[in-house]
Structure 1
Amino acid sequence: MIVQIIPRQSQNIQAEQASLNYLFYSSYKNQSLSPSRLNNINIDFFLPKYIDGIELNYNIDSDYIQVQDSLETISLRTSESYENIEVYRAKIIKEPSVWKQNIEFTLQISYELDQVTYEDKLQGQIVKTIPDDFLGGTIYTLIRYGQMFFEGALKTIVLALIGTLVGFVLALILAIMKLQKADTHDKKIMKILKEISNKFASLYITLFRGTPMIVQASFFWYGFGLFGDPYYCGLFVVSLNTAAYIAEILRGGIQSIDKGQSEAAYAFGMNHLQTMVYVIFPQAIKNSLPAIGNEFIVNIKDTAVLSVIGIFELFNQGRKITGMHYRQLEVYLIVALIYLFLTYTISQVLKHVEIKMNLQPLEITSSN
C-alpha cells in the first residue's frame, strides 16, 4: 500500500497520475509479491529496476535488510515465453530474535515522471522463520502464537465451566425424577407421572452416558445445525452430557443420606418438598462436590472433541497453528502443557476446598 507521494517541485500533479502499480518478486521461484505482502517477509526479494519504462531507485534504512547495489537478472514466465528483467536484491542480513520475532522496515522508492521527482514509502515487516531445533521451535511457537493459545484455553475453560454449571442444574432435576417411585397412597395419575419421570430420567442418563460426546456434537450440529452457531451447539452438548453424569452422582449422594433424617424432618412437620430442599439436598450436594469438581476437570479435557464441529477451543487452535508452519510436535507439546496446567491448578483448588469443607475426595473417570 502506498503511504505517501511527495513531488519535489511545485507542479500540482495529482497523486493518481504519479502512482505506479508496484510488483516485486520473491527469491523463491521468483513468485510475485504485491506491496501488501511485504508485511510477511522471511526471505530475500527482488525489486525491479523499471516499471512501465520508469527507472526506480530504492533504499531501506535498516540493520536487518538492505538493498544491494549490484543488479541481477531474473527470468519471469509470461503467457507465451520467458522474460528477463533487471532487479535489485533486497537481502535479509539479520533475522529478528526469537523474542522479537517481527521487525518493521520502510522501503523508500524514488522516480522521475514528467521532470518531477516523486518519493513513495511502503511499509514492510520481516518475520522470523521458525528455528530448526526443537527447543527454539517450541519457544518461537509459544511466543508467536501465544494469543491463539490463550484464546483457545479461555474458550475451553468457558465451555467446561458453563457446561458443568448448566449440567448441574439439569442433573438436580434428573436426579429427582429418577428417584420418583410410586407409593401405595398415591393417586393413579400421580403414579403414572412418577413412572414416566423415572423412565425418562433413566433413558436420558443411559443415552448420554452410553454415547461419546463427539457423536452427540456431530449429531446435533451436522444433523440439525442447532442454534446456527457451533459454539452454542457445543455448549448445549456439554451441558446435556454433563447432566447425565452429575445426575448419577447426585442420586448416589441423595441415597447415601440416612433415612432417619427424612423421618425426623417429617416429625417436625415438614412436607416432602421441604425435607428435600432443607435437609436432603444440602447434604447430598455437599457430599457430591468432590465428584462434581472432578467432572469439571474432565470437561476441560473432553471439550477437545468439540473440534469436530469447528469450535476453536484449545486443541483445535493447536491444529490450526500446525497448519501454518507444519511443526506438529512443538505445538502439541504446548497444548498438552496448557491442559496439564489447567487441570492441575483446578485440582489443587478443589482439594483446598475439600479440606476446608472436610469432604472426602471422590475420583471419577472421563465421561468420554
Structure 2
Amino acid sequence: MKRKVGLALATLLVFTMSLFAGSTKVSADDNSLQKVKEAGVLKVATSPDYPPFESEATIKGKKQDVGLDIDVAKQIADDLGVKLEIKNMDFGSVLAAIQTGKADIAIAALSPTAERRQSVDFSNIYYTGGQTFLINKKDVAKYKTAKSLHGKKIGAQTGSLQNTLAQKYFEDSAVSSMDKNPDLIFALQNQKIDAVGLEKPVAQAYVAHNKNLAMIDAGYEDDADESGKAIAAPKGSSSLIMAINQSIDKITKNKLTDQYLKAAGEHLDEGAEDNSMLKYWKDFYNGFLNTSLIALLAVIFGIMLGILLVLMKLSAWKLLSWPATAYIEIVRGTPMMVQVLLVYFGLGAVFNLSALVAGTIAVALNSAAYVAEIIRGGINSLDKGQTEAAKSIGLSKVDTMRFVILPQAFKNIWPSLGNEFISVLKESSIVSIIGVTDLIYQLNVVRANTYRAVAPIVVVMVIYFLMTFTLTRVLNYFERKMNNA
C-alpha cells in the first residue's frame, strides 16, 4: 500500500496522546457502531492524492472527493443510515486519526498487512487489483516481462507494499523510494529509473493520461490478504466492522467496484481535458489564503508568547525560568512535523480542534520558542548601563523592561525577527499533513489530478517567492524607519 510508516506514526501518536488524556482503554462492551449511529455521522479519514482510489474533482463548481474508496464509504454510510464526513489528510496520518478519535474509519487504499493489524482492526477485502510495473513506452520491447527488470533501477513509493515486494523479489535490483508517485513518474520519464511499481488501477490511470507510458504485469505471487484493500477501524470495533462487512458483501455481490472505478475514470478524463494550471487557480488561491492566514496568526501569537517566555526565562524565580527553558529546548529540539501531529491528534483529541486551528497553534508554539531566543539575544546585547540609568531615574523593573530594554532590543533584533517571519511563512507548509488546505496540500492534489509532476511545483514556487519577496520589502521598510527614528 502507500506508506507503512503510518503504522509507526500512529503508534507514536497514541503513546504521546496518553500524556494528555491518559491511556485509552477499549470497553468490554463494544459500542463503536452505536456511537456512529447516535452521532448520525460516519467520519472517514482518507488521503485524496491517490487516483482512482481517492482524489478531488470540481463538480458543478464545487470541490468534492471522488474515487473508488469514496464511493465505498458512501455506500457504507447509506447502509448505516448516517451522513458521510470526509476528513482529508496525509496518508501517514489516517491510521492515527482513527486511533485518536478524529475519525471512525480509515479508507485510503489500505492493505491489511500483519504490521497494521497489530494496531487497528480491518474489514474484509473490498477490492484486489493486482501489481504492475510502469515503464516508458519506448522500452516495451526491452522490458517485455517483469523478469527483464532484474538488475535494473526500480522505483516505488516510500513504505508502500510495492516497495516491500520489489525489495523481496528483485534483490539484484536497485530499489529507489520517493514519497509521492508523481515524483517517481517524473524520474521514470527522465530515465533516472527504469520502472515504477504501482497497483494496477493506478498504473492504468497513468497510462490512460500519458501516451509515453506503458505497463507490464509484476508477476508477483500475490497474497490477496496482504495486497487487497480493506477498511481500518480502531481496535475492538467489532460491531462497526461487522456492519462494514455487510456493506462490502453487498458491494461485492453486485460488482459495484467496477462501477465505482468507471465513475472515477470519468472524473479523471474530465480533468485531463484541460489540465492547465489556470484551471486550478482557485485551488492555488485558497491555498495562498490559508498559508497567509496561518503565517500571520502564528507570527502574532508567536511574538506574544515569545516575549512571555523570555521574561520567564530571565526571571530570578526558578519556578518561572525552568519551565520556560524546558519549553524552548524541547520545541527547538524536535521537528515541527511532530509538533503539528501532537497538537492535532493529542491536544486536538481533548478539545476537538479543527485541522486549521491545530495547525496554526502548532506553528505559533514553534515560532514562539525561536522568537524568545532572538529577543533574549537582543536584551543581552544591550549595555548594562541602560538598566542602571533606568534605575537611577526611579523606573521599576517592569517599566525598565517595557520602556527601555524591549524597544531597543526589538530595534537590534528586527533583521533576525524578519528572518523568523519568512521562515514561518515557508515552514507552515508542514500543516498539509493533517489536511489543512494550504499551498502544499493543493500542490499535491493538483499533481494527482493532472498527472503533471513539474508544472504545479513551479506555480507554487512562484507564489511562495512572491509572498516572501513582498514580506521582505515590507520588513526592510520598517527597518529603515526604525534606524532613522
Answer yes or no: same fold by TM over 0.5: yes
Aligned counterpart for 2:283 among listed residues 148, 152, 166: 148
Shift in Å at residue 130 of structure 1? 5.3
Higher strand proportion: 1
Contact 1:227 1:233 in 2 (8 A): no
More helix by share: 2
What CA distance in whole angstroms lies between the structure 1 residues aligned with 2:344 and 2:390?
47
- How far, CA to CA, are the matches of 1:212 and 1:272 in structure 2? 36
Counterpart in the other structure of 1:206: 329
Aligned residue identity for 2:312: M
Cα deviation, residue 307, structure 1? 0.8
Please state how far the C-alpha of 1:127 moved relative to its aligned partner: 6.6
CA-CA distance at 1:349 after TM superposition = 2.0
Once the two structures are superposed, what CA deviation does each residue of 1:182-239 show, in whole Å capped at 9, x if it has no partner? xxxxxxxxxxxx1121111110000111111111111121234354301100111011
Q: Is the 8 A contact 2:312 2:320 kept in 1?
A: yes
Query: Highest CA radius of gyration, 1 or 2?
Result: 1
Q: Does 1:157 align with 2:292?
A: yes
CA shift in 2, pair 1:293/1:130, >3 Å? farther
Q: For the structure 1 residues 323 and 275, does the alpha-carbon distance in structure 2 shift closer, same or farther, using more than 3 Å as the test?
A: same
Q: Which residue of 2 aligns with 1:173?
A: 308
Q: Percent identity?
A: 38
SS of 1:228's equivalent?
Answer: coil
Q: CA 1:296–1:130 in structure 2 vs 1: closer, same or farther (change >3 Å)? A: farther
Give 1:256's aligned residue.
381
Alignment of 1:292-331 (within 5 A): 292-331=417-456
Q: Are 1:222 and 2:345 matched, yes or no?
A: yes
Q: How does 1:1-368 map to 2 (within 5 A)?
A: 129=272, 140-141=276-277, 143-181=278-316, 194-225=317-348, 226-358=351-483
Query: TM-score, normalising length from structure 2?
Result: 0.43
Q: How far apart, CA to CA, are the structure 1 residues paired with 2:353 and 2:396?
A: 45
Corresponding pairs, count: 218
Check conservation: 2:272, 2:450, Cα contact below 8 A.
no
Indicate the larger mover: 283-292 or 201-210.
Answer: 283-292
The Cα shift of 1:129 comes to: 4.5
8 A contact 2:337–2:430 mirrored in 1: yes
Q: Give the whole-Å Cα distance in 1 for the aligned partners of 2:328 and 2:414.
A: 19
How far apart are the structure 2 equivalents of 1:217 and 1:169?
A: 20
Distance in 1, matches of 2:271 and 2:296, equals: 37
Letter in 2 for 1:162: L
**Which one-letter code corresponds to 1:257 in the other structure?**
L
Name the amino acid aligned to 1:172: I
What is the CA–CA distance in structure 1 between the aligned matches of 2:433 and 2:345, rounded to whole Å? 10
SS at match of 2:454: helix
Q: Unaligned stretches of 5+ in structure 2?
A: 1-58, 62-268
What is the alpha-carbon distance in structure 1 between the residues aligned to residue 461 and residue 450 of structure 2?
A: 18
Distance 1:175 1:227 in 2: 30
Contact 2:298 2:367 in 1 (8 A): yes
CA deviation vs aligned residue, 1:132-163 (integer Å, no higher than 9, x gap): xxxxx6xx21x101111011011101101110
Change (3 A) 1:265 1:323: same
Q: CA, structure 1 residues 201+38, in 2 after alignment: closer, same or farther (shift >3 Å)?
A: closer
Query: TM (normalized to structure 1)?
Result: 0.56
Give secondary structure in 2 for the equivalent of 1:312: coil
Q: CA deviation at 1:38?
A: 10
Cα deviation, residue 356, structure 1:
2.7
CA distance in 2 between partners of 1:38 and 1:295 (Å) = 41
Which structure 1 residue ranges, 5 or more long, are not aligned?
1-36, 40-125, 132-136, 182-193, 360-368
CA deviation profile, 1:299-350 (whole Å, cap 9, x unmatched):
1110111111110101101111122121121111111111111112211221
Counterparts of 1:324 and 1:223 in 2: how far apart (Å)?
32
